[in-house]
Amino acid sequence: MSMTPGREPRPAARPAWVMPAGLAVMAAIYLGAFRYQVLPLWPSMTVVAALSWWVAWHPELPARLRPGRRLVVMGLASGLVLDLGFALGALVARQTPLWPAVERVADLVRGSAPVPVAAALILLVTSPGEEVLWRGAVFARLARRLGPGWGPVVGSTLLYALFVGLSGSLVLPLAACVCGAVWARQRQVTGSLVPGLVSHATWALSVYLLVPGVPRA
């Protein structure tokens, strides 16, 4: 089954209440892991990713995840461009009051699991989970309601940033606005989740490993 840009699937296979209920549970876990730090970070993010797949499941989802050379190259290219932009941004942010917020997030993420474990989870668990939820199910629901155009891109990006903002950090929602807009637009143009998934994993792993000036556990 091929996916064409602009055509969104029929209503989700899950009942309508599943998405808001799932998002509410995920928000509670996110708050506990990031803002209040009463839950272990990486196990919590694994549960959130599993819930994301459950909420987002649709018979057409496998087709939107079918890889192709052009889609993978597009994702790698956008991921590397985002990496470069955020690396330069980190160098600038080190000279501003924003840098302590960057360090707090990095310390939490890097201090919660050994580097190989966290890297594997970023690549295989958290990045795919976020893409199937926000650029998959949420984007599709907004596109059915708002139609083609920038509405679904803007709407899904703002909702993504608001959710990430539950972390209590200014840094993560700012990053979500930039990256989420890129990944949502790729989703809209290609009809596929592959470019965003590859870009997301590339960007997130690079930021985790290479943000300058922040030590790794």
- Cα separation of 123 and 114, whole Å? 14
By percentage, how much of the chain surpasses pLDDT 90?
73
Among 145, 162, 152, 213, smallest CA distance to 186 is for: 152
Among 194, 214, 175, smallest CA distance to 70 is for: 194
pTM summary value: 0.90
* pLDDT of the residue at 217: 43
Q: Does residue 71 carry a pLDDT above 50?
A: yes
For tokens 């707090």, the residue is 104
| CA geometry: angle 187, 189, 192, nearest 5 deg | 40
- Cα separation of 216 and 213, whole Å? 10
Query: 166 is written with which tokens?
Result: 């539950």
Length of the chain: 217
The mean of the pLDDT values for the chain is 91
* Contacts made by residues 24-31, CB under 8 angstroms, sequence distance 24+: 25/51, 26/51, 26/52, 26/163, 27/163, 27/166, 30/163, 30/166, 30/167, 31/166
pLDDT in tens, 76-131: 999 999 999 998 988 888 888 888 888 888 888 988 999 999 999 999 999 999 99
